[in-house]
Amino acid sequence: LDNFLDALGPERVITAPGDTAPFCVDWTGRFRGATPAVLRPGTTEQVAAVVALCRHHGLALTPQGGNTGLVGGSVPLAGEIVLSLRDLDRLAPVDDVSGQVTVGAGASLAAVQGAATAAGWAYGVDFASRDRATIGGTIATNAGGLRVLRYGDTRAQVVAVEAVLGDGSIVSHLGGPTKDNTGYHLPSLLCGSEGTLGIVTATRLRLVPAASERATALLAFDSVERAVAAAGDLRRHVPTLEAAELMLAAGIGLVCRVTDRPPPPGPSAAAFLLVEAGDRLSPAAELAAGIEALTGVVHVTPVATDPVPAAALWRYREDHPAAVNTLGPPHKFDVSLPGDGLAAFVDEAPGIVAAVAPGATTWMWAHAVDGNVHVNVTGLAPDDDRVGDTLLRSVAARRGSISGEHGIGTAKRAWLHLNRTLAEIDAFRALKRALDPDGILNPNVLLPPPTAAPPLTTGTVRGVSG
C-alpha cells in the first residue's frame, strides 16, 4: 500500500471498506468479492507503475471500467486489487478528415456518443448501460449491442489502442494512419480479452456518418418464428435498418408491471419486434414500405419519427434488464445461435430450464438479426450452475456460441471448451504467457484453470469448432 500511495498519491488509493464496496459487487448483485484496495490511476504512466508494482509483489489485478459487465469479470472475486480506469476519461477533438476520435479508456460510451454527435458524426456502438459502461470495458468485452447489424461490434470500430501489458510495458500506436499493415493488429487481440492480456488506457475509434433522421416502430407477431423471419426480411429490404430487437410477451408484461406503464397497443401477442432505421433523410417511408410487405404481423404501432414516442417504444426494450433484476440476482446467458436456429431455441429454452430447475423462471430478449438471445433465469441460488450447464451444452450442440456479447468472465470459463478446441485454448494460454508472464491480469477470468475438472454433466456435445 505504501508503494501504491507513493506512485499514485492518497486520493487515488481507496482502502476503506465502505468506499471499496461498490467496486466489489457486479451490476446484477450475483457476483460479490472483496479487495484490499481500489486504485484509480489518472495517467497511462500511473497504470504502468501499478502493474509494475503488482508484478514485483506478485499481486493479482482486476481491471474495472464502469462495472456493468455481466459475467463476473470486473469484480475481485479472489481478493484481487481493483484497478479502476474511470479517471482516464479524456476526449480529444474529433478528426473530421479521418472520421476518428481518440479517447481515454475511462470515457463512458455515452460521452463518446455525445462527442461524436456534437461533431456531426455518430459512434456505431450503443446499448442500455451507455451512461456507465466505459470505452475500455467495451473493448475488453468486444461489446455488441443494438446496432451491430448495421455497424458491427466494438472490434469493428477500434482503429488503434494504447495499453499497458502484463509485464508493465506501454504499447501505444494511437497516431497511426487509417491504413497501416505493419504487423500484428493488437486492437483485435485486446478486443474481447477481458482484461487478461493488457489494460486498455486509450483508443482511437472509427466514427460513422450521423443518421440524424430516425424511424421507429413496434411490430407484434403470434410466434417467435414469424418475428425472427420478419427481422431478416426487413434487413434485406430496408438498407437503413439499424436495430431489430425481439421481445416476448412475458418480458413486456414484467417491464410494464415494474415500471407501471401500459402495455403496447393492439391485441395480445406472443412476440414483438422493435425496429429502427436511420439516415440523413427520413427513412420513415422506406421502413413503412418494408413493414407493409411483411407477412404474419398482427399489429403495428405506427412508425414514429418524433424522438419522444420513439423513446417510449425503446423503454419497453431497454427496461428489460433492470426489470428482471427486481426479481433477485438473475443468471444471465448471452448466447448466440445460427440465424435459422434462434426461433426454435427461444421456444425451447424455458422447457430446458424447467427440466433442471422447475421453480425457476426464464426471461428472454434478443438482437434478432444477430441470432443473439439474452436468456435470464431467476429463482436460482447465485452458485447453482445446473441450469447454466444444461443450457450452454444445448447451445453448443446447436452450433451456437456460449457468449454472443458479454464474454466468458468467471461465470462461463468452465464451459469455454464447448466452443473452443484444446488447441485454441492452448494458443490462448501462449498469448497470455507472452503478454502477462506472471499471470497477474485478471487471472481468474476467461481461461479455465489448467487442471480444471470437467464441468458438471457428461455427454456428447458438438461445439462450434470441435
* Nearest residue (CB) to ligand FAD, 269 versus 368: 368
The C-alpha cell at 221 is 407477431
Q: Does 73 bind ligand FAD (CB under 6 A)?
A: yes
33 binds ligand FAD (CB under 6 A): no
459-462, Cβ contacts within 8 angstroms, sequence gap of 24 or more:
459/393, 461/393, 461/396, 461/397, 461/418, 462/396, 462/397, 462/399
Task: Decide if 193 contacts 435 (C-beta within 8 A).
Answer: no
Least Cβ distance, residue 359 to ligand FAD (angstroms): 25
Least distance CB 446 / ligand FAD (angstroms):
8
> Which one of 60, 91, 110, 128 is in contact with ligand FAD (CB under 6 A)?
128
DSSP structure class, residue 131: T
Of 136, 163, 139, nearest in space to 153 by CA? 139
128 vs 312, beta carbon nearer ligand FAD: 128
Q: Minimum CB separation from ligand FAD for residue 319, in Å?
A: 9
Q: How far is the CB of 117 from ligand FAD (least distance, A)?
A: 19
74 binds ligand FAD (CB under 6 A): yes
- State the residue number with the nearest CB to ligand FAD: 137
Q: Which one of 10-18, 67-75, 307-315, 393-401 is the stretch in contact with ligand FAD (CB under 6 A)? A: 67-75
Which position among 35, 44, 46, 67 is part of the footprint of ligand FAD (CB under 6 A)? Answer: 67
Residue 449 backbone phi and psi in degrees, to 5: -60, 145
Q: Provide the sign of the torsion angle of the four alpha carbons 60, 64, 67, 68, taken in this order.
A: negative
Q: How far is CA 349 from the centre of its chain?
A: 21
Task: Indicate whether 195 belongs to the interface with ligand FAD (CB under 6 A).
Answer: yes
- In the complex with ligand FAD, the residue whose CB is nearer, 138 or 336, is 138
Q: Which stretch binds ligand FAD (CB under 6 A): 136-144, 234-242, 264-272, 386-394?
A: 136-144
Bridging pattern class, strands 61-64 and 158-165: unpaired
Among 12, 30, 33, 66, binds ligand FAD (CB under 6 A): 66
Q: Which is nearer to ligand FAD, 323 or 357 (CB)?
A: 323
> Should residue 164 be labelled a site residue for ligand FAD when binding is judged by CB under 6 A?
no
Size of the site for ligand FAD (CB under 6 A): 36
Q: Which of 41, 63, 76, 448 binds ligand FAD (CB under 6 A)?
A: 63
Q: In whole angstroms, how close is the CB of 247 to ligand FAD at the nearest point?
A: 13
Q: Which of 85, 174, 92, 69 is nearest to 408 (CA)?
A: 69
Determine if 47 is a binding residue for ligand FAD (CB under 6 A).
no
Within residues 314-353, the interface with ligand FAD by CB under 6 A covers 321
- Spatial CA neighbour of 190 closest among 178, 181, 202, 198: 198
Is the Cα torsion angle 232, 271, 340, 71 positive or negative in sign?
positive
CB 431 within 8 A of CB 386: no
Q: Which value, in Å, is the radius of gyration of the alpha carbons in the chain?
A: 22
Which residue intervals of 105-199 are DSSP H helices? 109-118, 135-140, 148-151, 186-190
User: Given the rule CB under 6 A, which residues bind ligand FAD?
Assistant: 27, 62-70, 73-74, 85, 105, 127-129, 133-134, 136-138, 140-141, 143-145, 194-195, 199-200, 321, 405-406, 442, 445
